[in-house]
């Protein structure tokens, strides 16, 4: 699966210039593309409200925090927003449970 060049460019802008608070990505026609750019002033609640209830997304979030030593820090988190499908083999019915989990990859 290919990653559109705009994804790489926007991530570098978030990482080096802090141009965005977050970036949402989606898969479209076998390619990862930018879905939404969060302005630097947007909150974590704005970020969470950006995820669709019925579709998968990937995101990076620039989290600002203050250490115990009163130092301003920032970490970028990668988040995979998955929908979970459970198949009942006896009735062949698919139950969709939306937004049960967010997987955080923290380095």
Question: Which helix (DSSP H) or strand (DSSP E) does residue 60 occupy?
Answer: strand 57-66
Predicted TM-score (pTM) of the model is 0.76
**Counted domains in the chain:** 1
Per-residue pLDDT of 37-92, as tens digits, reads 999 999 999 999 999 888 889 999 999 999 999 999 989 999 888 765 443 333 33
> Which residue range forms the structural domain that includes residue 88?
2-105
CATH number at residue 17: 3.40.20.10
Q: How far is CA 90 from CA 66, 83, 94, 97, in A?
A: 52, 22, 11, 18
pLDDT of residue 37: 97
- Asked if 64 contacts 74 with a C-beta cutoff of 8 angstroms, the reply is yes
Inform me whether the pLDDT recorded for 98 exceeds 70: no
């Amino acid at each position: 699966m290919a990653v559109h060049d705009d994804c790489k460019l926007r991530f570098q802008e978030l990482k080096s210039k802090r141009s965005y608070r977050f970036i949402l990505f989606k898969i479209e026609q076998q390619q990862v593309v930018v879905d939404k750019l969060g302005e630097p002033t947007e909150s974590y609640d704005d970020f969470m409200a950006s995820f669709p209830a019925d579709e998968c997304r990937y995101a990076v979030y620039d989290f600002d925090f203050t250490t115990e030593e009163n130092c301003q820090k920032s970490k970028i988190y990668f988040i995979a927003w998955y929908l979970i499908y459970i198949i009942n083999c006896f009735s062949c019915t698919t139950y969709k449970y939306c937004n049960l989990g967010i997987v955080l990859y923290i380095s």
